[in-house]
Amino acid sequence: MTRCEFSFGEESQVTGFCISGHSGYAEAGSDILCASIRAAVTVAECTITDVCGVRAKVRDDETKPRTSLTLPASYDNEEAVQAVLAGLLNYLMALRDEYPDYIEVLEV
């Protein structure tokens, strides 16, 4: 199962996320659910770091399926970054609703 954890700070602002695990929907390498999750996470990361210019801490674990992003304490373009993260969260919740046995989304 893929586990998607979103961290929140003051005023219900997302401060980061961690996506881990293989969904188990299909074999690794041909799992459309994992590919969909990975694509959405990559778009969010690239938009936050490359388009919005936020120096977020991004970690990819090469030994297991795990990616995390942590926002700095203060940054420009907060409204845009929060919109990207809200979109990612909503998309992952929609996937969870469609594939409840393969993905979980937690707000921590």
pLDDT in tens, 68-89: 999 999 999 999 999 999 999 9
Res 101: pLDDT: 98
Segments making up each domain of the chain, as ranges? 2-107
Res 59: pLDDT: 95
Architecture of domain 2-107: 2-Layer Sandwich (3.30)
The pLDDT tens digits for 17-65 are: 999 999 999 998 899 999 999 999 999 999 999 999 999 999 998 788 8
String of DSSP letters for the chain: -EEEEEEE-GGG-EEEEEEES---SS-TTS-HHHHHHHHHHHHHHHIIIIIS----EEEEETTTTEEEEE--SS-S-HHHHHHHHHHHHHHHHHHHHH-TTTEEEEE-
pTM of the model: 0.94
Residues 23 and 104: their CA atoms lie apart, in Å, by: 9
Res 61: pLDDT: 86
